[in-house]
Amino acid sequence: MTKVVKTESEWRAELDPEQYRVLREKGTEAAFSGEYDHVFEPGTYHCAGCGAELFASDDKYDSGCGWPAFSAPAGAEALAEETDTSYGMVRTEVMCAACGGHLGHVFPDGPHPTGLRYCINSAALKLEES
Ligand SMILES: [Zn+2]
């Protein structure tokens, strides 16, 4: 996989403020506010930072949590994970493996068969409809 490496000022110039806050500053968009929370069009979700393929619409489901939720990534190599202990919680942070952009978190309360819920900020995603 090709790693995407840019300076913070390059990211700041390319991303809109909300994308920058989420992807580069590990921000979280307000629940139920994101562009893709209730979008179920067929297509592929790419990283808003670098364009890497992250999720397929087939794996998107309505978790009711207020953010786009997926049961699996688009490929085994698409995501990177790290333990996040901020806000007094132990969570698993999910990042784009190519550019390191923060996407959201993964929780073990998803649907069959993976049992995973990838809770992802809309601002970190770009849907390419198919
Ligand atoms: Zn990326």
In the set 50, 96, 99, 119, the catalytic residue is 119
Q: Is 119 a catalytic residue?
A: yes
C-alpha 21 – ligand 1 centre gap (Å): 14
C-alpha 44 – ligand 1 centre gap (Å): 14
Q: Which pTM was predicted?
A: 0.95
- Return the ∠ at Cα 30 (arms to 4 and 107), rounded to 5°: 70
pLDDT given at position 5? 95
Q: pLDDT tens for the chain, 130 residues: list them.
A: 789 999 999 999 999 999 999 999 999 999 999 999 999 999 999 999 999 999 999 999 999 999 999 999 999 999 999 999 999 999 999 999 999 999 999 999 999 999 999 999 999 999 999 9
C-alpha 109 – ligand 1 centre gap (Å): 25
